[in-house]
Amino acid sequence: TGQWDWTGDMSIERYAFATGVLPGGRVIAAGGRGILAHALPDVDIWEPASGKWTVAAPLNEARDEVPGVVLNDGRFLIPGGTNRDYGHLDSVEIYDPVSDGWTEVAPMSIKRGLHTVTVLIDGRVLVAGGGKFDGPYTRSAEIYDPASDSWSPAGEMNVSRASHTATLMSDGRVLVVGGRGKRNNPEVYDPVA
């Protein structure tokens, strides 16, 4: 119709949170920053049929400025993020929509916020970049394997980046664009090479 319509309200006001489309079309909103400018553990799930949000199990650790991604098996992964009390985080959690529970898995090799997370064609997860709002930013990248619950290095980007984008292309490579510091030099990650 080309129109915008209101839908149900989340249980709390938030921004800088992680989202993803769960199996069945439901949308998860996890963590984020609240009106008091601190990280939240709260999680809501939106039902497209009813337009209503329901409260789900909270994160084990409050976090904001964090991306999230739905794994090939339907679970939702959140790596790192920021917590005002602890700074950037290296901890990683996975939400199981069947059991409505979060499980902490192997941590990343470094603490990250303002980074990207991308599911590769083979089901592994690429995490790249990150940093503070005003720097420094990182060039490092690593890959999480859900099958073995382990991380491995993924080389370094040519440029340090935070608040950039990472898009999976149809050929399996990942296009990384932009970032803080007014980056205008995209680069491509090849998981095969």
Query: What tokens does 96 get?
Result: 């199981």
- Please give the pLDDT value at position 134: 83
pLDDT at 160: 94
19-48 residue pLDDT tens: 999 999 999 999 999 888 899 999 999 999
Please give the pLDDT value at position 133. Answer: 82
Exposed, middle or buried, 174 (CB in 10 Å: 0-12/13-18/19+)? buried
According to DSSP, the residues that pair with 119 across neighbouring strands are 125
Nearest-angstrom CA–CA distance, 128 and 166: 8
Q: Which residues of 73-111 are buried (b: 16+ CB within 10 A; e: fewer)?
A: eebbbbbbbbbeeeebbebbbbbebeeeebeebeebeeb
The contacts of residue 158 (CB under 8 Å, 6+ apart) are 139, 185, 187
Confidence band, pLDDT 50/70/90 cuts, at residue 164: very high
pLDDT in tens, 122-150: 999 999 999 988 889 999 999 999 999 99
